[in-house]
Amino acid sequence: MDVSAKGLRVLVTAGGAGIGRVIAKTFLEHGARVQVCDVDEKALASLPKEIFGLKADVANLSDVDKLFEEVKKNLGGLDVLVNNAGIAGPTGKVEDIDPKDWDRCIAVDVNGMFYCTRKGMPMIKAAGGGSIINLSSAAGRLAFPMRTPYSFAKFGVVGFTESLAAEAGPDKVRVNCIQPGVVEGDRIERVIAAKSQRLGISFDEVKAKMLEGVSMRTTVSPQDIANTALFLATEGGKHISGQAISVCGGTRYLV
């Protein structure tokens, strides 16, 4: 199967660290030219020199405008947009959530995806078609107690994806989303720690409860997510659109 990304011009939001960084490096390793943005300047500075980086917050319209000017300058166009940027949001019962924390979660996880897509879609259409890959979550198909802002956002990503796929399909733009399960890394460690504190049980107990809901009793890696994104954007995924693809080890419920 051909998973070459040679010649593809790719933008990965929040590509400085975590899943986004691995996605960006995977596309680069398979021949793509890659631009990323991130709010973390140190993370951007540590990227391979072949990857173009810009400090930008996807929830800020002027930052997004600057980002797409950089994409035009550095890549000369766009074939693949990976809307990876997202934050975990607050942990707590809905009546205890600060509206400012709710608003920030929605601003990054939902509004930021829209801001980037509205700028990226015309460029992908101008290229003759391409691929948009949105990051949802297992929390976008399953209930996630005490994480309502995040779950609300990630369910929204699925609706956005399916509607865009129907809208942009005639222009040869494929739109899919990936729904990761429990992904290894700093973010899930912070989520587990916050839930541990809220529930008054140990970190290890929370993690064990999380994995009880996974058929394979395993976390997934950022590379698993990157491999799926690469597949969707290249020859093997050329007829896949409008799908929410779970990469989760068979997650059946979240705690």
Asked if 20 and 84 count as a contact pair (C-beta separation under 8 A), the reply is yes
Model pLDDT, residue 189: 87
Residues 6+ apart with CB under 8 A from 103: none
Residues 6+ apart with CB under 8 A from 227: 26
Would the CA dihedral through 94, 61, 165, 23 be positive or negative?
Answer: negative
* Residue 242 scores a pLDDT above 80: yes
* Residue 198 scores a pLDDT above 90: no
Count Cβ neighbours within 10 Å for each residue of 203-237 and write b for 16 or more, e otherwise.
eeebbebbbebbeeeebbbbebbbbbbbbbbbeeb
pLDDT tens figures, 206-241: 888 889 999 999 999 999 999 999 999 999 999 999
Instruction: With cut-offs at 50, 70 and 90, classify the pLDDT of residue 129.
Output: very high
* Residue 1 scores a pLDDT above 80: no
Model pLDDT, residue 125: 98
* Residue 188 scores a pLDDT above 90: no
**Tokens at residue 9, please?**
């011009």
**Average pLDDT over every residue of 176-198:** 89
Model pLDDT, residue 195: 83
Confirm whether 115 is a catalytic residue: no
In 3D space, the residue among 40, 24, 44 whose CA is nearest the CA of residue 32 turns out to be: 24
DSSP 70-101: HHHHHHSS-SEEEE--------S-GGG--HHH
Instruction: With cut-offs at 50, 70 and 90, classify the pLDDT of residue 185.
Output: confident
Asked if 80 and 133 count as a contact pair (C-beta separation under 8 A), the reply is yes
Cα gap 227→220, rounded to integer Å: 12
Model pLDDT, residue 187: 81
> Helix, strand or coil for residue 57?
coil
pLDDT tens figures, 52-73: 999 999 999 999 999 999 999 9
Is pTM beyond 0.85? Reply is yes
Query: Which of 144, 150, 155, 160 is labelled catalytic?
Result: 150
DSSP code for 233: H
pLDDT tens figures, 145-181: 999 999 999 999 999 999 999 999 999 999 999 999 9
Say which residue the tokens 């995806």 belong to. Answer: 113
* Residue 186 scores a pLDDT above 90: no
Cα gap 201→207, rounded to integer Å: 10
Model pLDDT, residue 98: 98
* Residue 45 scores a pLDDT above 90: yes
pLDDT tens figures, 6-18: 999 999 999 999 9
pLDDT tens figures, 78-121: 999 999 999 999 999 999 999 999 999 999 999 999 999 999 99
pLDDT tens figures, 130-147: 999 999 999 999 999 999
HSE (side-chain half, CA atoms, 13 Å) at 100: 0
**Tokens at residue 162, please?**
């399916």
Cα gap 241→190, rounded to integer Å: 33
* Residue 204 scores a pLDDT above 80: yes
Model pLDDT, residue 176: 99
